[in-house]
Amino acid sequence: MKTQLRFLVPAIAFTALVGFFVVGLRQDPSEIHSPLLGKPAPEFSLESLGNSGWKVGSADFAGRPWLLNVWATWCVGCREEHEALIAIAREQRVPIMGLNWRDDRALALRWLAQLGNPYVSVAYDPEGRTAIDWGVYGAPETFLIGADGVVLKKHIGPLTREIWERDFLPLLPPSGGEG
């Protein structure tokens, strides 16, 4: 009995440790859980990228779900997800607002002209203040905001068709039939 315990205790401790490692190593340390989930989306009102006299902001889509996509021309992952974004925009399930983060206006406009524009509107945030309010730490980041203004989902990194269908679509109300 004594000898059994002598081997059993380290064995259990070892298994527990391995368990922690298995869980810990499977998580991506660069993906930080956002405290924003389930909370009202931070409000903002910024200059429109295309028209500095025009204000765009979180109130624009009040009462219906919308996507906020944080992007910049210096961001490689944004280039990567751009086609997926355009395809999602074409489906017209949710309007996509862009948050142009710490970027140059002329470069950003050229990017949209060359690669296509998936956004209903783009907020221009050259100082990164709104980005901080949204807890942004690396572009691209994509938020889904529900009709009640609550943040439902945050995706860090390039969006793909698979991620869109798996993580975002189930959170949206069924489409209005115009399909």
Partner 1 sequence: MRFVALAFSILLGSLAHAVDSGQAFEDPAQQERYERLIRDLRCLVCQNESIADSNATLAADLRREVRELIVAGRSDEEIRTFMTERYGDFVLYRPPLKPRTWLLWSAPVLLLLGGLGVVGMVIARRARAARADPAALEEEPESR
Name the site residues for partner 1 (rule: CB under 8 A). 29-30, 32-36, 102, 127-129, 131-135, 137-138
φ, ψ at 54 (rounded to 5°): -110, 135
* Closest distance of CB 172 from partner 1, Å: 25
Q: Which is nearer to partner 1, 131 or 145 (CB)?
A: 131
Tokens for 14, please give them.
């070892």
* Closest distance of CB 29 from partner 1, Å: 7
Q: Which is nearer to partner 1, 17 or 87 (CB)?
A: 17
* Closest distance of CB 139 from partner 1, Å: 10
Which of 101, 102, 82, 79 is CA-nearest to residue 90?
82
Q: Which is nearer to partner 1, 17 or 171 (CB)?
A: 17
Alpha-carbon span 61 to 105, nearest angstrom: 24
φ, ψ at 154 (rounded to 5°): -130, 130
